[in-house]
Amino acid sequence: MTETAKELEAKQRYEKRMARKKAHIDEKIAQANLEKGVLLITTGNGKGKSSSGFGMVARALGHNMKVGVVQFIKGSFSTGEEAFFRRFPDEVEYHVMGDGFTWETQNRQQDIQTAEQAWQVARQMLQDERFNYILLDELNIVLKHQYLPLDKVIKDLQSRPEMQHVVVTGRGAKDELIDIADTVTEMKDVKHAFRSGIKAQKGIEL
């Protein structure tokens, strides 16, 4: 067999393999035909949980959706995502609740009160079908510390409008929440710049 014939054969094999792959994927896509508001959770100790939620805010805005954001933990710094998305007050309703949790305030009673106030805000969005996408940033942490009753949170999430998407972020997601979610990603910390002495960087962490 000549070089050219060999090459041609390899090319044809490659094309056949890729055609099978495409057919398989096309079939899987055709089977997934339900339209539904999804509950998505990002958890784990790796970087990317909140930023992924904010990336989906951008995606939703690109489809002219109405977005609600409730940040359950506010650090002592101002963040890029807040500064940016507050530019669109008609499209994004943005709430940052409380002045930080746990190691910042060191007052459990106060943290519980803040969490309850934040949930009131979230709950109103979850009952309002004008909101197409709601980001509940760091809600997992609040639930992990038992600042909010889990069963109430689950009930409110499940009673939301059918086409409403909700993303919940934060490490230590509760099993009961994972059970009722449609999509769950665990973000595993393989490596973090912080451990090499690199400060939290604007545009990346802040």
Residues 174-203 binding its own copies (CB under 8 A) are: 178, 181-194, 196-203
Closest contact distance (angstroms) between CB of 43 and its own copies is: 8
Residue written as token pair 């393989």: 190
Nearest-angstrom CA–CA distance, 96 and 179: 27
Closest contact distance (angstroms) between CB of 140 and its own copies is: 13
- By the rule CB under 8 A, 2 interacts with its own copies: no
Q: Is the torsion defined by CA of 32, 34, 35, 39 positive or negative?
A: negative
Please give the single-letter amino acid code of residue 148. L
- By the rule CB under 8 A, 28 interacts with its own copies: yes
Q: Under rule CB under 8 A, how many of the chain's residues touch its own copies?
A: 81
Which is nearer to its own copies, 36 or 155 (by Cβ)? 36
Closest contact distance (angstroms) between CB of 21 and its own copies is: 5
Which residues have a Cβ under 8 Å from the Cβ of 196 and sit 6 or more positions away?
Answer: none
111, two tokens: 């943290």
The DSSP bridge pattern shows strands 165-169 and 133-137 to be parallel
Site for its own copies in 34-93 (CB under 8 A): 34-38, 40, 42, 44, 46-63, 65, 79-85
Which is nearer to its own copies, 45 or 120 (by Cβ)? 45
The DSSP bridge pattern shows strands 133-137 and 67-71 to be parallel
Closest contact distance (angstroms) between CB of 147 and its own copies is: 13
Nearest-angstrom CA–CA distance, 104 and 109: 13
Q: Is residue 135 helix, strand or coil?
A: strand
Site for its own copies in 109-128 (CB under 8 A): none
Binding piece for its own copies, criterion CB under 8 A, among 23-31, 114-122, 123-131, 148-156: 23-31
Which is nearer to its own copies, 120 or 146 (by Cβ)? 146
Contact in structure between 163 and 35 (CB atoms under 8 Å)? yes
From the list 131, 132, 140, 143, which residue makes contact with its own copies (rule: CB under 8 A)? 132
- By the rule CB under 8 A, 170 interacts with its own copies: no
Closest contact distance (angstroms) between CB of 116 and its own copies is: 18
Nearest-angstrom CA–CA distance, 145 and 148: 8
Closest contact distance (angstroms) between CB of 56 and its own copies is: 5
140, two tokens: 């997992």
If you ran DSSP here, which 8-state letter would residue 113 be given?
H
